[in-house]
Structure 1
Amino acid sequence: MNTAHNKGEGCIAISYSKSKYMSVINDYNVISFNASNSDAACISRIIEIFTLNKIRIEGQKLALITGVVIPDTGATADEVNLLLSRCASLCSNEEKEMALRQIAVNDAKVAIQQASGESRTISEVKSRKSSRMDREEAERRFHNANSRLAEQVERVAIVKTIPGLLFDEAAYIGKGINLSKLNNFKKASFVSSEIINMLSTLEGGYAIRFIHDSLAELTTAIKNILKQCIPPTDRYELDNGGVLKSQAFVEYYHVDNGLLRAMISAEEYVSYIFSRTKISETKRKIFSN
């Protein structure tokens, strides 16, 4: 079992936990983006900053209830500006590729016209008719070129939404943000599954998918702990020890109870506390008569 000393004298933090939710929170590490990192790292970091910004309020609630501190974005104005610059370059490259694919579509159109004889003189048409194979090949070339263009148009649209995910964190940071760069993009309010699926097919897509899935796991862990620690409003749950169970969860997840979490799971602990309390209540009822 790995242990690490806290700043408090005599206080030991246990890194191992039988709580899968606490393990997810404890194991999540934030690494800032730098200029030598890849485009995939840039996109991953933006998604990370956006997601950690969104769950900041839940994190504050969790800290208030249990003292547990969740990972924060760790973002600075300089890093956000660097991410915006990389995104601007990335968008420019994608637009250049889109222009090249548009040229390929235009060339394919010309090839169809030539194969159909539309651009030939009367004498040329009479002396040499286009063959059906030439026409089919030209149409196949146009179809492929048009399909590639459509894919790139969608890709450009997706890439342009990515820097828009930084608006909320930029507002949170405040000073030092290059607003002229930021305002070149439109604010994005969510990362859709379609965007992740599209990005996963790109170079470095594995990294983007990995970060997205890790953040989803972290978000789920935080929300589930909060749900367990907050007393229920459902009457049935309240009548069946809902308040007591939520109090037991708070005690279990408290920042100082790392040793407890290393020995027993949350469900086992709450079940033990609940059953012990039920026994005590039953005894009190017996001897109160």
Structure 2
Amino acid sequence: VISKWLLNLFVTILPTECVLRVFDMLLVEGGTVLIRFALALLKMTEQGFLQCKTDEEVWKFVQEAPNQIFDVSALISLATNRKVLGSFRSVTDLRVKLGKRIRKQFFDETFNYATKNAHFSETELQKLYKRVESSIGFEDSIDREQWMKLASRLWGGWGPHSFFSKFYQSMHETENGKVKVEEMLRTLAVLLKGTEDEKLRFCCKVFSSSPTKTYLTQSDLEEMLSLIYHSTNREWTRRGDGGTRIRLEEVTNGDHLSASDLEALSEFFSRLGKFKRG
């Protein structure tokens, strides 16, 4: 669209005098000349441009703007005056700032959507937002290192490294080897504000070696429980046959869990729901 507009602008709309000057400069300075003249044209008609409210209005304005140029000398003077239009470095800086603003807007929308049903208080939401933003910025995905950094910010280094690493592994990586922020936020919503049943089901799926995540082996269950015991400063003793399959529902219903297991799980899930101070 832009290239078509530029060709139309310089070939069929502007006076021949201006077109010849543009192509004369084009041969000497290269393609940036076209951008400078286009910016100069917009500068001369900026009041009309600033009044556009919709994409359709912008499109119509861009089509009609060249016809409003009657002083060709003023257009050429403006296009060749770098102090008026600014350097291309300032344009690059503007693009960077605009890019950050767009990423922040997208991040804010994703954050609000992913956490809206998690029953966070306003203070908790502010804390979570601040710590996620300080760990990854306003990016749309997060890598393992950033996730571990975020976990440390949220829980103050509490909990075994391997546990939070498992949480990351449970999320789906994109082609670039990262996890979408939206999925990460949904995971955090469960860990921080989910019920004990929701957290237990999530942990069971994290540790399940089943491709369908419908069962755990005895070894899966013992790996999960041993980490939880150690996280709550409890003594762990191995038990059972490592190859036995246990349906997920049996574990989430409390089967195969002793009273001490349930106590450890309750304490662990309670600590998951508490932000580090600060």
TM-score, normalisation: structure 1: 0.26
**Relative CO higher for 1 or 2, CA cutoff 8 Å, sep ≥ 6?**
1
TM-score, normalisation: structure 2: 0.26
